[in-house]
Amino acid sequence: MAERKVTVAAEVGLHARPAATFVQTAVKAPMDITVSKGVSGQPVNGKSILQILGLDVRQGEDIVIKAEGEGADEVLDALAAIAGTP
């Protein structure tokens, strides 16, 4: 299982446009993707905009993104870049 820890940089947090861009990228990946707030948070489905919004991640907060399987690293890099974009 590969994972990335990233600090959400957008002023609106992981909401609105950043959340939509994140999910649009996640749904294209063949494998399951989970997102949790902080290292100890409950993981949610990274392809679900409603669950991502429900995490209520604010600017400066950390998320941990996990995926498994072939191409997982590329997918995680792309998602981490979106979450880390101001």
Partner 1 sequence: MNLRGAGVSPGIGTGPAYVLTGAVPEPPAGSTYEGPPEPERERAVAALGQVAGELEARGNRAGGEAKEILKAQALIAEDPGLVVGVKALIDEGIAAPRAVYQAFAKYRDMLVSAGGYLGERVADLDDIRDRVIARLTGHPLPAPPPVPGAGEPYVLIAVDLAPADTALLSKDAVAAFVTEAGGPTSHTAILSRAMGVPAVVACPGATEIPAGTRVLVDGNTGEVRLEPTESDIARHVSAHDARRRRMTTGGPGRTLDDFRVQLLANIGGPDDLDEALAAGAEGVGLYRTEFLFLGRTEAPSVAEQEAAYRAALAAFPGGKVVVRTLDAGADKPLAFLPSAAPEPNPALGERGLRLFERYPEVMAAQLEALSVAAAVNRSGAVRVSAAAAELQVMAPMVATAKEAHWFADACHARGLPQAGVMIEIPAAALRAESLVTVVDFVSIGTNDLAQYAFAADRHSAALGSLQDPWQPALLDLVAMTATAASDNGKPCGVCGESAADPAMACVLVGLGVSTLSMGAAALPAVRTGLGAHTLDQCQLAAQAARGAATAAHARAAARSHLPGLVELGL
User: In the complex, which residues of this chain contact partner 1 (CB under 8 A)?
Assistant: 6-7, 9, 11-12, 15-17, 19-20, 23-24, 27, 45, 47-51, 53-54, 56, 58, 60-62, 80-81, 83-86
Contact yes or no for 79/33 (Cβ under 8 A): yes
Q: Kindly state the smallest distance separating residue 11's Cβ from partner 1, in Å.
A: 7
Helical ranges in 1-86 per DSSP H: 16-27, 49-55, 72-83
Is 15 one of the catalytic residues?
A: yes
Measured CA to CA, the distance from residue 23 to residue 17 in angstroms comes to 10
Which of 18, 72 has the CB closer to partner 1?
A: 18
